Each structure stands twice: as C-alpha cells, then as structure tokens.
Amino acid sequence: MDDFGPQEWLSALRQLESALGPSFERELAPRLRALAAAPAPADPAERLLAALELMDAYVAEQEAHASAATACAPGCPFCCHTHRVLVSELEAVLLVRAVAASPQRKDAVARVQRGRPTTDGPGSSPCAMLGKDGSCSVHRARPSTCRAYLSTSRKACKLYAQGRGPRPDTIRGYPYLAHKMTTAICAREAEDRAGVGGRTYELNGLMRRIFAEPAKIEAWRRGSPTHEPDLVVLTTPAHAPV
C-alpha cells in the first residue's frame, strides 16, 4: 500500500486553513506539518488514526478557550442511541481491529452480530460498539463523526434520547470542521491510494456483515476491505472537492 504524499497533505492543510481562519497557522499547522513529516506508517489506517488523535488533542486544547464547553464525558451513552453512525472504510478497518483485539472479544463480537442499523433520532438501535457500562468499547478507534459530536448539555442529550426533548445543541465550530475535514481528506486520499474507494457505510450494518464471515474479518483487519455494494451509503469520487 502506498501512503499520503506531500500533495495530499498540502491539500489538507489548505482546506483546513480556509475553514479555521487565523488560528490555523498559529496553532494547528505546525503540528499537522510535523505529522506529515514524521516517518509514515506503511498502513493508511494507522496514518488516519494519527491524524484523528492530533485533532483530538487540538480540540481539547481549544476547548479551554471556547465560549461553550462540551458536556461530553466518558460513560455518557446518549448520543450512541440517537444517531445513524456513518464510517469510512478506513475507519471501519480501525473498528474491526479494535473489536478483534478486544479483551472482551466474545461480548464485543456478540454485540456486533446482534446489531441492527442505527438511525437518526430517539428509538435508534444503539451503536454496536457501545459497551455494557455505557462507554465506547473502541474509544481510541472511534470514528470521526463521534469525535466531532460535542454536546453542550448532558441533560438535553438524555431528554432527546428519551423522546422528551428537542435535538440537543452541539458545538459546530472548529472541532466539527477540523474533524470532518481531516477525516474526509485523509480517509479519501488514503482509501484512494489503497485502492479501496471512498465508500461510507452505516456502522452496525457493515460490522455485522464483516463479522458474519471469518474471511471478511481477516480482509478488513489487513486493511483490504471487501466491497459490500448493498450497504454503501455514500461514495465519494476520488479527488472531488470536499
């Protein structure tokens, strides 16, 4: 598998720059450049994970200065019951590896095999990655959509999950943009280079399909996704503008 080249990182930097404004050059650009210059993992999924973790660190630092702080905390499960969770193929590679390596593998696989597709709104099936204790069982490998979802009120999330309140307010500024753009750019470029296309899937449906067949589990773990055309939600054409 090939890896990100300088052009892809330049493209990512430019798009983030225009989205984030002046704070970009001061705070984020040096770290992104350092990541781009670091010895590249041969595995595109690992490179995506490194970019996601960099964004997590950036968002956590920025939060200290934000006017609206996030109410999100470990063990708060409400958003994992009220959203259609979408993943890119490389994000799914990270999830498959996390489930397969889980110390509670049997439970994790059983949840995946029972999982019904997640939908938007109260009454959705829970995400199959949600552990019994209300924590994300794949926290380090969780997709960007989860990383970018930052609620301002735990109470509002709870009421919404119970069907007793409106959709909660979320922080839609830099954290959302940074995560969305990083993932869109990095995942698309890496998938393109790995020859797996820019496909997006609903998490539970895809994981259930993968974990129904040992050969599929192995293929995704290796970073060679099988194409599941009937489950594709969205296909991003290679090199299309974000």
* Shortest distance in whole angstroms from residue 142 CB to ligand SF4: 4
Where helices occur in 38-148 by DSSP H, the ranges are: 44-63, 89-100, 105-114, 144-147
Give the pair of three-digit tokens for residue 157: 């999330």
The footprint of ligand SF4 on this chain (CB under 6 A) covers a number of residues equal to 9
Nearer to ligand SF4, 115 or 225 (CB): 115
* Shortest distance in whole angstroms from residue 242 CB to ligand SF4: 22
Among 85, 148, 150, 190, binds ligand SF4 (CB under 6 A): 85
Tell me the CA distances in angstroms from 55 to 38, 122, 178, 239, 241, one per residue in order.
Answer: 16, 29, 7, 22, 21
Tell me the CA distances in angstroms from 224 to 67, 89, 99, 193, one per residue in order.
Answer: 42, 9, 16, 12
* Shortest distance in whole angstroms from residue 207 CB to ligand SF4: 10
> CB–CB of 200/232 below 8 Å?
yes
Q: Does 130 bind ligand SF4 (CB under 6 A)?
A: yes
Q: Does 80 bind ligand SF4 (CB under 6 A)?
A: yes
Nearest-angstrom CA–CA distance, 57 and 34: 14
Q: Does 51 bind ligand SF4 (CB under 6 A)?
A: no
Q: Does 184 bind ligand SF4 (CB under 6 A)?
A: no
Nearest-angstrom CA–CA distance, 203 and 116: 10
* Shortest distance in whole angstroms from residue 116 CB to ligand SF4: 14
> CB–CB of 47/36 below 8 Å?
no
Among 136, 148, 161, 178, binds ligand SF4 (CB under 6 A): 136
How many other C-beta atoms can be found within 10 angstroms of the C-beta atom of residue 135? 15
Binding map of ligand SF4 across residues 99-128, x = CB under 6 A, - = no contact? ----------------------------x-
Nearer to ligand SF4, 62 or 124 (CB): 124
Question: Which residues contact ligand SF4 (rule: CB under 6 A)?
Answer: 80, 85, 127, 129-130, 136, 138, 142, 146
